[in-house]
C-alpha cells in the first residue's frame, strides 16, 4: 500500500520545468510511495520551438504549442509515475508570458505580453487557486523556484511569488475558509544549483571540449548541438526529435540536450552557493545524478 501520509507538492511555471528541475526527485518519492502532486501554472505557449516540424505551432502562427505541451506533460508524468498533475486554475487559465534575454545572460520580460499572461496575473487571484490545492492535498513539503526564478524568467518569478504567498495564506484559518481547512506546509524548498557540482561540471567541460569552446558556451550561451554533446561525452544519449516518451525518459534521467543554456544559468547562480542539489546540471553522468539527487531526503 502506498504510504500517502507524506505528501510533496511541486509548483512550476511551464511544462518541462518540472521534469528538468525535479524529475528525479518526483520519480524517487513516487517510487517510495509518497504522494506527489505537480502543479503547472501555464501551458508554455510561448516556449522556444527547436523542432522544425513543430514550428507551425508557434504563438505567431497557429498558437498550438500549449495543446501540444499538454500531451507532452501527460507523457512525462506517466514516465515518472506521477498520477496527480494539475494546471493552476485549470488548463489555459494563465498564459505563458514569454521572455527575452538580457545582455547580462539572464531572462527578462518580453517587450509585449498577452493580457492573460501569468506574470501579469493578480497575485491574490492566482494564489487563491493554489491555496485551494494546498488545503486539499495538505503537503508537508513544497518545492518551487527561488526569488529569481532560477534565471529570471518572469513566469518562474511569478510562480515563486504565487507559491510563497499561497503557502502563507493557506495556513491562516481566517483566510477564505470556503477554500478548505487551513494547512501549514512544514518545509518549502527552492530549486537551486549546486555550486560544488557546477564548478566540477565546468572543470570537466573544459577538460573535454577545451577552454575556448567551454567559455563560449558559458559566456555567450551558445547551445551545444546534441550530437556534439554526445561526442564530447557530456550526455549519455540523444533522443530523436518528436519521440516524446523517449524525451520524457531522458529528461527524467536529467540528461539535458540544451547544455549551453543550463551551463550559463549554472554559472550565474554560482554566487548563490547553494548545495540543495535538487537541480542537477547537464554535465553529470546518470550515476552521479543518482548520488546527488538521492543524498538528501527532502521529506525527512
Ligand atoms: Zn519555465
Q: What values do phi and psi take at 11, rounded to 5? A: -120, 115
Give the Å distance between the CA of 145 and the centre of ligand 1. 10
Give the Å distance between the CA of 39 and the centre of ligand 1. 13
- Predicted model pTM: 0.74
Give the Å distance between the CA of 235 and the centre of ligand 1. 21
Alpha-carbon distance 184 to 152, whole Å? 28
Give the Å distance between the CA of 207 and the centre of ligand 1. 30
* Cβ atoms of residues 168 and 158 within 8 Å: no
Give the Å distance between the CA of 87 and the centre of ligand 1. 14
Cα–Cα separations (whole angstroms), residue 260 to 215, 216, 220, 264, 265 = 10, 9, 9, 6, 9
Give the Å distance between the CA of 200 and the centre of ligand 1. 25
Q: CB 96: neighbour CB atoms within 10 A?
A: 29
Give the Å distance between the CA of 120 and the centre of ligand 1. 16
* Cβ atoms of residues 26 and 177 within 8 Å: no
pLDDT tens sequence for the chain (300 residues): 344 788 999 999 999 899 888 888 888 889 889 999 999 999 999 988 877 788 899 999 999 999 999 999 999 999 889 999 999 999 999 999 999 988 777 889 999 999 999 999 999 999 999 999 999 999 998 999 888 888 889 999 999 999 999 999 999 999 999 999 999 998 888 887 666 666 676 677 677 767 776 666 666 555 566 666 666 665 555 555 555 455 445 444 433 333 333 332 232 232 222 222 233 333 333 333 333 343 456 666
What's the farthest any 2 CA atoms get from each other in the chain? Answer: 60
List alpha helices for 113-243, DSSP H: 123-137, 154-170, 195-209, 211-220, 226-231
Give the Å distance between the CA of 259 and the centre of ligand 1. 16
* Cβ atoms of residues 87 and 70 within 8 Å: no
* Cβ atoms of residues 284 and 205 within 8 Å: no
Give the Å distance between the CA of 160 and the centre of ligand 1. 12
Amino acid at each position: 500500500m502506498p504510504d500517502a501520509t507524506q505528501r510533496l507538492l511541486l509548483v512550476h511555471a511551464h511544462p518541462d520545468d518540472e521534469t528538468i528541475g525535479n524529475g528525479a526527485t518526483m520519480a524517487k518519492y513516487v517510487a517510495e510511495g509518497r504522494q506527489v502532486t505537480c502543479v503547472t501554472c501555464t501551458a508554455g505557449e510561448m516556449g522556444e520551438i527547436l523542432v522544425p516540424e513543430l514550428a507551425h505551432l508557434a504563438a505567431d502562427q497557429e498558437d498550438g504549442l500549449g495543446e501540444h505541451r499538454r500531451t507532452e506533460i501527460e507523457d512525462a508524468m506517466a514516465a515518472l509515475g506521477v498520477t496527480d498533475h494539475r494546471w493552476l486554475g485549470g488548463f489555459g487559465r494563465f498564459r505563458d508570458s514569454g521572455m527575452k534575454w538580457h545582455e547580462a545572460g539572464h531572462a527578462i520580460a518580453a517587450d509585449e505580453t498577452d493580457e492573460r499572461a501569468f506574470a501579469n496575473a493578480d497575485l491574490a487571484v492566482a494564489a487563491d487557486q493554489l491555496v485551494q490545492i494546498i488545503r486539499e492535498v495538505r503537503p508537508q513539503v513544497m518545492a518551487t523556484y527561488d526569488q529569481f526564478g532560477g534565471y529570471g524568467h518572469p513566469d518562474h518569478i511569478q510562480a515563486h511569488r504565487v507559491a510563497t504567498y499561497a503557502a502563507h495564506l493557506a495556513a491562516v484559518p481566517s483566510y477564505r475558509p470556503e477554500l478548505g481547512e487551513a494547512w501549514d506546509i512544514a518545509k518549502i524548498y527552492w530549486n537551486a544549483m549546486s555550486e560544488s557540482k557546477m564548478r566540477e561540471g565546468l572543470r570537466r567541460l573544459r577538460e573535454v571540449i577545451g577552454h575556448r569552446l567551454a567559455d563560449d558556451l558559458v559566456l555567450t550561451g551558445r547551445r551545444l548541438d546534441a550530437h556534439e554533446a554526445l561526442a564530447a561525452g557530456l550526455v549519455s544519449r540523444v533522443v530523436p526529435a518528436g519521440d516524446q516518451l523517449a524525451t520524457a525518459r531522458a529528461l527524467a534521467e536529467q540528461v539535458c540536450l540544451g547544455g549551453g543554456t543550463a551551463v550559463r544559468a549554472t554559472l550565474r547562480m554560482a554566487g548563490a552557493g547553494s548545495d540543495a542539489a535538487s537541480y542537477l546540471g547537464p554535465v553529470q553522468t546518470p550515476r552521479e545524478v543518482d548520488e546527488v539527487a538521492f543524498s538528501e531526503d527532502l521529506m525527512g
